[in-house]
Amino acid sequence: MAELAKIDQRLERVRQSDRNDFRDGSPTYDSASIAVVRLAGILERSESARAREVLTEEESRGLQTIRKIISHGGNADMNDEVFWSTVTTYLPGLVRRLRDAVTDESR
């Protein structure tokens, strides 16, 4: 839960930033990259089985694809418009759903 909160904070920093400043090497781009890598890492853990259940197959594949681009392909392969949209529009809701699932599981 604490790691999801940190990811959410990073995503919030990106959402509050100027789109024109979002480019490879900028602090917000780096925050977005770290958020994606850590989120994918959390979901790979065996103790995250319940959290993974809230994701669709498409969401899981999309997250893994963007993580692989960041981790292995280099950001030169990244479409910055899609990345911006993903981390400012899509991922915050996904993280919220994961946090809700973790909270429900701990009850």
Average pLDDT per run of 10 along the chain, which is 107 residues long?
91 95 92 94 84 88 89 75 92 91 70
For residues 13-43, one letter each, b for 16 or more C-beta atoms within 10 angstroms of the residue's C-beta and e for the rest, the string is ebeebeeeebeeeeebbebbbebbbbbbebb
Provide the pLDDT for residue 19: 95
Best CA proximity match to 37, nearest among 78, 107, 21: 78
CB-CB contact of 91 with 36 (8 Å): yes
Task: Quote the pTM value.
Answer: 0.86
Q: What is the pLDDT of residue 71?
A: 85
User: What would the two tokens of residue 17 be?
Assistant: 């930033």
What pLDDT, on the 0 to 100 scale, is given for residue 100? 87
Other C-beta atoms closer than 10 Å to the C-beta of 63 total: 19
- The pLDDT of residue 72 is 82
Tokens of 15: 């959402």
Q: Tell me the C-alpha distance between 17 and 65, whole Å.
A: 24
Name the DSSP letter for residue 79: -
